[in-house]
């Protein structure tokens, strides 16, 4: 009786609060949701336990709203940690909090975790999207202190400790972890974006694969030799690991997988050009490995245009090094910038839009806000900024999770973040790669074996590892690629401003009869 009346009153107050402010907060959720929580997260009448020892006040207490009674007589709602981004950094931060007495809300604009190092293989038909992605909810199914919200961050109020979301909801936090990653930068030429394909999401990988395969299909039915040459010219801008791996994969696709698939064109004649403003490929690798990579790329028939500034990218192709290159497909793998974290936080941005953080990955003056991964400018032990690598984000996420857990439990904090460089790898076509571990450097087949093993181990699920391994073995034995299906209509595949110019074919070939 008493518990029932207080619960009804609580529901009424929560409904009014939600209707008037549109807040997404713990107090706006239904009692049914609360009953599904683990005991450590169940609310009790009068609010939750205090965390004043950590210097941070629980969000539920800040709101000052009565919480419904808990039929299981649990301890209290506790501390709320909001993690934005479910990539390497956000995922590892949430996992490190698996035993923390806290409510963790993981916000991401998609419903899946994506293994980006293999995204180029989705774009070149070697793998499908499901092979390298996994639903976030399935990853945290057993971690009962994690709630997943598919939404997008649009703003942060540091004073109120709230984040605004694209859905119109706001979410209060006690601790905030920003792991929003990076986006590609076109160096101030936003119009180039309309005529090139970047590679950050599954949608972009799907578009890349469709555009790549469609170029060969359109070349097959074209009659104008100049148009055929344009359709079979592929330009990759940026000779870092992504650009090198992408160029090598396109070469393997055209030279081997598609070699016997067409009757009117010769797929191995495809022209693949790799451009970079720097003097060498894989500039972050030692010179010897960079030189090996250049030789290997050239052996695949790839043209290298180094120390070559791109002057224009449009529907007809690119202008690079003062030369006009007619190309139907341009892949962009040059330059990244942080997501607008600095604008959301209303702080001064560092180079490339990054936000400078302290040695513990917190925003200076705000110990409750952590920034990790590609959005953070964090110096290593040598005083130089850490590179934008997945390994950095992964280690920072784990460190931040341990730091938050120590604060909540009153235990010893792990100290300052120290990045451990375990090496870097890049694949160059099938059966060849380069590997730099500092104490040892590998090239060729041995490096490729190491590359394959490392990437398999880093995949999130056992199912993904098995499927990817089977696909790789099949491709290695047969040069086959099983994801060569065009799934988008032609209008979606043409670069903006480009016209469909297939030429004409004889009536028998084009009639479908």
Q: How many beta carbons lie within 10 A of that of residue 379, not counting itself?
A: 15
Q: CA-to-CA distance for 451 and 432, rounded, in angstroms?
A: 9
How does DSSP classify residue 480? -
Q: Are strands 302-305 and 310-314 parallel, antiparallel or unpaired?
A: unpaired
Domain boundaries, the chain: 76-109+151-185+337-409, 190-334+430-492
Supply the pLDDT for residue 111: 95
Looking at the domain covering 190-334+430-492, what would its CATH class be? alpha beta
Taking the model in full, what pTM does it have? Answer: 0.80
Please give the full DSSP string across 106-120, using - where no structure is assigned: EEESSSEEE-GGGHH
**Fold match between domain 76-109+151-185+337-409 and domain 190-334+430-492:** yes
What beta strand segments (E) does 93-224 contain? Answer: 102-108, 112-114, 133-135, 146-150, 153-157, 162-165, 170-172, 175-178, 182-184
355, 346, 368: which is closest to 155 by C-alpha?
Answer: 346
CB-CB contact of 262 with 509 (8 Å)? no
C-alpha distance from residue 310 to each of 236, 262, 334 (Å): 11, 33, 11
Supply the pLDDT for residue 249: 94
pLDDT in tens, 5-14: 444 444 444 4
Q: Are strands 310-314 and 317-320 parallel, antiparallel or unpaired?
A: antiparallel
Q: How far apart are the first and last CA of the chain?
A: 78
Is 76-109+151-185+337-409 in CATH node 3.50.50.60?
yes
Cα dihedral across residues 371, 375, 379, 381: positive or negative = positive
C-alpha distance from residue 67 to each of 37, 76, 102, 502 (Å): 14, 10, 16, 66
Q: CA-to-CA distance for 87 and 93, rounded, in angstroms?
A: 10
319 is a catalytic site residue: no
Supply the pLDDT for residue 18: 38
Supply the pLDDT for residue 492: 60
State residue 364 phi and psi, 5-degree precision: -50, 130
What beta strand segments (E) does 238-328 contain? Answer: 271-275, 302-305, 310-314, 317-320, 323-326
Number of helices (H) and strands (E) in the chain: give both, helices first. Answer: 18, 25
How do the pLDDT tens digits run along the chain, 513 residues long? Answer: 444 444 444 444 444 333 433 334 433 333 334 334 443 333 333 333 333 333 334 444 444 333 333 332 233 457 999 999 999 999 999 999 999 999 999 999 999 999 999 999 999 999 999 999 999 999 999 999 999 999 999 999 999 999 999 999 999 999 999 999 998 888 888 899 999 999 999 999 999 999 999 999 999 999 999 999 999 999 999 999 999 999 999 999 999 889 888 999 999 999 999 999 999 999 999 999 999 999 999 999 999 999 999 999 999 999 998 899 999 999 999 988 888 999 999 999 888 889 999 999 999 999 999 999 999 999 888 888 888 889 999 999 999 999 999 999 988 888 899 999 989 999 998 889 999 998 899 999 999 999 999 999 999 899 999 999 998 988 888 777 766 788 876 556 555 555 555 444 433 334 343
State residue 468 phi and psi, 5-degree precision: -65, -40
Percent of the chain with pLDDT over 70: 80
Please give the full DSSP string across 434-479, using - where no structure is assigned: EEE-SS-EEEHHHHHHHHHHHHHHHSSSHHHHHHHHHHHHHHHHH-
Q: How many beta carbons lie within 10 A of that of residue 247, not counting itself?
A: 31
Full strand arrangement of the beta sheet holding 271-275? 302-305, 271-275, 233-237, 329-332
Catalytic residue among 103, 162, 220, 245: 245
Average pLDDT in the chain? 83
């Amino acid at each position: 009786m008493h518990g029932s009346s207080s619960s009804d009153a609580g529901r009424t107050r929560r409904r009014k609060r939600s209707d008037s402010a549109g807040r997404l907060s713990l107090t706006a959720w239904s009692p049914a949701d609360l009953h599904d929580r683990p005991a450590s997260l169940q609310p009790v009448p009068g609010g939750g336990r205090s965390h004043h020892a950590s210097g941070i006040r629980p969000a539920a207490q800040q709101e000052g709203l009565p919480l419904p009674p808990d039929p299981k007589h649990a301890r209290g709602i506790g501390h709320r940690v909001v993690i934005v981004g479910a990539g390497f950094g956000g995922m590892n931060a949430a996992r490190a909090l698996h035993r923390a007495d806290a409510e963790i809300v993981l916000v991401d604009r998609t419903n899946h975790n994506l293994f980006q190092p293999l995204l180029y293989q989705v774009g070149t038909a070697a793998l499908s999207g499901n092979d390298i992605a996994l639903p976030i909810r399935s990853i945290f199914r057993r971690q009962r202190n994690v709630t997943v919200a598919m939404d997008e961050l649009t703003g942060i109020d540091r004073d109120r400790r709230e984040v605004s979301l694209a859905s119109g909801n706001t979410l209060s936090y006690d601790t905030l972890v920003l792991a929003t990653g990076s986006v590609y930068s076109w160096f101030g030429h936003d119009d180039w974006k309309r005529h090139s394909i970047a590679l950050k999401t599954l949608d972009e990988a799907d578009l890349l694969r469709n555009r790549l395969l469609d170029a060969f299909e359109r070349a097959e039915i074209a009659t104008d030799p100049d148009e055929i040459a344009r359709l079979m010219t592929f330009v990759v801008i940026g000779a870092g690991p992504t650009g090198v791996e992408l160029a090598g994969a396109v070469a393997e696709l055209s030279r081997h997988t598609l070699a016997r698939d067409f009757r009117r064109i010769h797929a191995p004649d495809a022209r693949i050009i790799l451009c970079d403003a720097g003097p060498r490929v894989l500039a972050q690798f030692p010179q010897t490995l960079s030189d090996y990579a250049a030789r290997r790329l050239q052996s695949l028939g790839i043209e290298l245009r180094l120390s070559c500034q791109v002057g224009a990218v449009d529907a007809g192709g690119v202008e690079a090094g003062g030369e006009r290159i007619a190309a139907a497909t341009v892949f962009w793998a040059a330059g990244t910038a942080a997501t607008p974290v600095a604008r959301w936080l209303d702080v001064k941005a560092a180079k490339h839009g990054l936000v400078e953080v302290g040695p513990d990955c917190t925003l200076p003056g705000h110990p409750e806000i952590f920034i990790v991964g590609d959005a953070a400018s964090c110096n290593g032990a040598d005083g130089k900024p850490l590179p934008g690598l997945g390994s950095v984000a992964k280690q920072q996420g784990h460190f931040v999770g341990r730091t938050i857990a120590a604060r909540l439990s009153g235990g010893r904090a792990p100290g300052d973040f120290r990045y451990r460089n375990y090496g870097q790898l890049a694949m160059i076509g099938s059966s060849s790669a380069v590997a730099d571990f500092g104490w040892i450097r590998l090239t060729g087949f041995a490096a490729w074996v190491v590359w394959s093993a490392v990437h398999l181990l880093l995949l999130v699920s056992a199912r993904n590892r098995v499927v990817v391994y089977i696909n790789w073995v099949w491709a290695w034995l047969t040069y086959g690629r099983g994801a060569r299906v065009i799934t988008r209509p032609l209008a979606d595949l043409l670069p903006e401003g480009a016209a469909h110019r297939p030429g004409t074919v004889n009536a028998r070939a084009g009639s479908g009869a």
